[in-house]
Amino acid sequence: MGGFWSHVVEPGFFQSQTVQVALLVGGVVAAVSGVVGVLTVLRGQSFAGHALGDISATGGSGAFLLSINPLFGFLGMGLAAAGCMEAIGVRRVRGRDVATGIVLGAALGVAALFLYFDTTFHSTSGAAITVLFGSLFVVSTSTVPAIVACAAGAFAVVLLLYRPLLLSSIGEDVAAARGVPVRVIGALFILTMAITVALSAITIGAILSTALLIGPAATALRMTRRPVTAMVAAVAIGVAATWVGCLLAYDSFYWPPVQHGWPVSFCIVAVIFVSYLVVDSARWHRLRRANVPAGSQDPAAAAARPLHESSTHDAEVLGSPRTD
Amino acid sequence: MGKRRVPRPWTAAVAATSAAAVLGAFAAFGAFGALASSAGAASSGKSGTIVAVGAENEYADVVSQIGGQYVRATAIMSNPNTDPHTFESSASVSRVVSAAQLVVQNGVGYDTFMTKIESASPSSSRKVIDVQHLLGLPDSTPNPHLWYKPTTMPAVAKAVARDLTAFQPDHAAYFQQNLQIFDASLAPYYQEMAGIKATFPDAAVATTEPVADYMLQASGIDNMTPWALQADIMNTTDPSPQDVSIQDALFTSKKVKVFVYNQQVTSSVTKAFYKLAQHEGIPVVGVYETMPTPGYDYQSWMLAEADAVYNALASGKSSPKL
């Protein structure tokens, strides 16, 4: 028993300060990503979430240039981009992807420039890897309070605006008819999404941040259509995946081929992806046995047309880190 | 879904403003870049002046010490605030390198871009001193910072004198004399290392990155930092929590007397170690990848670093910067 566990949890895991910070930060970020992620998927804004992550890379790389904490770079750029996308018209379904894509492309170009300056004029090493792919094991302890504060802020927005957010997610016209200020709610949500993505970028990198935002949420929405239940499930899946990812990265110290550890971001994303595949195939088998076409058994099926579109997109987004 | 439209003029204004900002930024950086390159470019030499390039400024310095008035040596990497491991070459670098008659480069994967530029602009008259090959080291050499090895620079200086003599046989005696002066000037540095070895045998230190490891070895110092951690920091890959714990314990249990800190390869990981070492009262000695300028030549730089290590061991004096 003891021998078995010492192989599952290699010695020193819980004593390592690096691991403690990683578990704390990873847990907090995965929790807030789960909650915001479910709303993101329900609102069909997965691509915007992904774009915000990539765009925040510009802020992250700029922060290295200015020698400020990368979290504030991610945050500042993410919030600015969210405001920009909102202003350009990210609310319109038609042309929304184009507006997002244009801003995304320009921002990534600037990120490339900043990273070039980082390596040419600055002693900060590995800015590119850290910004794009992140590492929970290099988060400095001094960042922890800011991360927790941002996460609490994002939670508070979702908690306060839960009803109108959900209503406007299902149908903007219905929500508007009921007196919900759809535009303000949408703007507040995209800003919350920017904060969440910035946190996620610190945790597993800007490029992979979308995996933490969308992955657990999409998995949870495969299991249930009740938003609150889905949020709880997404939080559980996200936190579990992050912690298991940390454990795998820790244990990989003893694995071939390099004998000094696999990247923690890879481990987390791999766990998220596998859990999505498992849940999705389980659902598929269940539906096939019941001989019901996918989707039609859901109580929320009437409102779910955008949900399914977004779900297929999510699978693509999730798959991309593996092929990169 | 959303039926309201954003008025067109507004969109146009946003687009115009951001385009202007981006263009402005390019213009500003462009001016900066032009200044930097005009300062750094090698003029293609009057007759009688050999145009030389050192991939790192310590090699360029040795070339100009040996070549004196007959050489114009330019360095590619000389900014003490950048990490040479992540250096990105550019068109202006290609121009400087391809125009050079004598090139000194480190090898061991530290400045691979030099080899690429040389093979892209072949020249039968160009002489290339690859320090790795000069010392007969294999490609698998784990620590590329060869200029910290006490035997390296005398060998490089000798090869430089030989190649310069091939270009200008008339000045053979002059180059030979400079070579002797250079070799003699290394004596204080060697004495300092011998002093460390004799006074503090097997002194234990921690490092972030292997930059000064050859010097530490030659001084009989025991570097307690796991090699995997040094390699991770050098290669900017994720450090293992296991290695970080070992390093932390070196400081908290006061197992090391000095923390040798590479000022040119820094990250949140190295900064955390730095804080911890300071907190535990362990003196920090800053070391560099390239020669800090102005104010130093190769010999005085190496001597200053060996001095700093000696003082840290002797009196606990920190010298995080040279």
Domains of chain B: 50-185 (3.40.50.1980), 187-315 (3.40.50.1980)
Name the residue facing A123 among B81, B243, B245 (closest C-beta): B81
> CB atoms < 10 A from the CB of A323, how many?
5
**B243 vs A contacts (CB less than 8 Å):** 260
Name the residue facing A253 among B86, B242, B271 (closest C-beta): B242
* A33 located within any domain: yes
Helix (H, G, I), strand (E, B) or coil at B266: strand
Q: Which residues of chain A have pLDDT under 70?
A: 1-2, 89-95, 123, 258-259, 292-324
- The mean pLDDT value for B288-316 works out to 95
Write down the ipTM of this complex.
0.76
pLDDT value at residue A193: 95
* A118 located within any domain: yes
Which residue, among B181, B135, B126, B136, has the nearest Cα to B156 in the 3D structure?
B135
Contact A41, A50 (CB under 8 A): no
pLDDT value at residue A12: 84
Q: What is the pLDDT of residues B150-185, one digit of tens each?
A: 999 999 999 999 999 999 999 999 999 999 999 999
Q: Is the CB of A259 less than 8 angstroms away from the CB of B228?
A: yes
Contact A210, A317 (CB under 8 A): yes
Q: Torsions phi, psi of A24, nearest 5?
A: -65, -55
Sign of the C-alpha dihedral computed for residues B205, B211, B212 and B215 taken in this order? positive
- The mean pLDDT value for B301-309 works out to 97
DSSP code for B201: T
Q: Which residues are paired to B77 by β-bridges?
A: B56
Q: Is the CB of A87 less than 8 angstroms away from the CB of B14?
A: yes
* A2 located within any domain: no
**A88 vs B contacts (CB less than 8 Å):** 6, 11, 14
* A6 located within any domain: no
pLDDT value at residue B149: 96
pLDDT value at residue B291: 94
* A4 located within any domain: no
pLDDT value at residue A66: 87
Q: Is the CB of A126 less than 8 angstroms away from the CB of B79?
A: no
**A115 vs B contacts (CB less than 8 Å):** none
CATH code: domain of residue A80: 1.10.3470.10
* A217 located within any domain: yes
pLDDT value at residue A292: 61
Contact A168, A182 (CB under 8 A): yes
- Counting the structural domains of chain A, the total is 1
What does pTM read for this prediction? 0.80
**B268 vs A contacts (CB less than 8 Å):** 130, 138-140
Q: Is the CB of A93 less than 8 angstroms away from the CB of B1?
A: yes
pLDDT value at residue A258: 67
Q: What is the pLDDT of residues A195-219, one digit of tens each?
A: 999 999 988 898 889 899 999 999 9
Q: What is the pLDDT of residues B32-46, one digit of tens each?
A: 433 333 333 333 334
Q: What is the pLDDT of residues A230-261, one digit of tens each?
A: 999 999 999 999 999 999 999 988 887 766 78
* A99 located within any domain: yes
DSSP code for B69: G
Quote the domain boundaries for residue A160. Answer: 14-319
Q: What is the pLDDT of residues B221-265, one digit of tens each?
A: 999 999 999 998 998 888 889 999 999 999 999 999 999 999 998
Helix (H) or strand (E) holding A119: helix A96-121
Q: And the tokens for A117?
A: 């300056």
Query: Which of A22-31, A113-122, B106-115, B205-214 is predicted least confidently?
Result: A113-122
* A324 located within any domain: no
Sheet with B71-77, strands from edge to edge, namely: B71-77, B50-56, B102-105, B127-130
- The mean pLDDT value for B183-207 works out to 96
Residue, of B89 and A209, whose pLDDT is higher: A209
